[in-house]
Amino acid sequence: MLTLRNVDIHYGRVHAVRRVSLHVAPGEIVALIGANGAGKTTLLSAISGLLRVSAGEVLFDGRSIAGVKPERIVRLGLSHVPERRLVFGPMTVEDNLLLGAYSRYKRREALADRDAMYDMFPVLAERRGQQAAALSGGEQQMLAIGRALMARPRCLLLDEPGMGLAPQVCKEIFRHVGELRRDKGLTVLLVEQNAKSALAVADRGYVLETGRVLLSGTSEQLLANHDVRRAYLGREKDA
């Protein structure tokens, strides 16, 4: 469904991503793990059209989306849940959700999907009239995911969904990610610094280091890799 071939990305003179190639098959959850500054968020931003690639190919369903405007990419079926959630604080929970359906023209369907988001995240139904800025971090993450799902994507880009969340809340978010794949067949490319949580829900993963793919493999292979355990799972895991 999603393929990157030899992608380079620059910030001015800074070569942030270097010849990255990866693929995500339909129905897969694929994790991108790595330290801060490895290029994970940059890569997702390029896929969703927020950044331009300097070289290489970005293909979605076999067609190039490099240089395509972000709103067009959303209409093609690819939605992005950004780092730090970026909900619209002054707007209500309900308006944030409905804004996620801006690219669709059948209001009845949008309202039905809104109700489905409330079923998935009951706390959002309880807060539907509140400003998004008043929500907790976990509730804002649920809202950001729900807003992205309102566009009915076939592929979801998730950037650091566990950032700043309590362990139990983080566990709940990842449970929902797994359910979306299981129940709806959603394809997910997941960026997460908590490598253990990411690989627990993912089928495969890529390890990025200084803008390059250092390792790739199944989640089981990466979890068992000595270097991955030391770098991303804590030294105590080597015992």
Predicted local distance difference test score (pLDDT) of residue 103: 81
Please provide residue 86's backbone torsions phi and psi, each rounded to the nearest 5 degrees.
55, 45
Residue 103 within any structural domain of the chain? no
Domain of 220, in residue numbers: 2-87+153-238
Composition of the chain by helix, strand, coil, percent to 5: 40, 25, 30
Strands (E), 47-134: 55-60, 63-64, 78-81
Identify whether 21 is part of a domain: yes
Does 8 reside within a domain?
Answer: yes
Q: Is residue 146 part of a domain?
A: no
Query: What pLDDT score does 234 carry?
Result: 63
In this prediction, residue 182 carries a pLDDT of 92
How many helices (DSSP H) and strands (DSSP E) are in the chain?
10, 10
**Which regions in the chain score pLDDT beneath 70?**
105, 234-239
pLDDT value, residue 236? 40
Residue with tokens 């908590």: 194
Residue 165 lies in a domain: yes
- Domain count along the chain: 1
**What contacts 158, CB < 8 A, 6 or more positions away?**
81, 145, 177, 188, 189, 190, 191, 192
Instruction: Let me know if residue 142 belongs to a domain.
Output: no
Can you give the pLDDT at residue 239?
A: 33
pLDDT tens readout for residues 160-170: 998 888 889 98
Q: How far is CA 149 from CA 42, 55, 96, 227, in A?
A: 22, 30, 12, 35
Q: What's the order of all strands across the beta sheet hosting 29-33?
A: 78-81, 155-159, 187-191, 29-33, 204-209, 212-218
Amino acid at 59: L
E strands, the chain, are 2-11, 14-24, 29-33, 55-60, 63-64, 78-81, 155-159, 187-191, 204-209, 212-218
| CATH number of the domain residue 62 falls in | 3.40.50.300
220 half-sphere exposure, CB direction, 13 A CA radius: 0
Q: What whole-number distance in Å separates Cα of residue 156 and Cα of residue 158?
A: 6
d(CA 198, CA 192): 6
Residue 127 tokens, joined? 């807060």
Asked if residue 158 is part of any domain, the answer here is yes
- What integer pLDDT is reported at residue 105 of this predicted model? 67
Token match 């988001």: residue? 117
The span from the CA of 205 to the CA of 219, in Å, is 6
Domain membership flag for residue 131: no
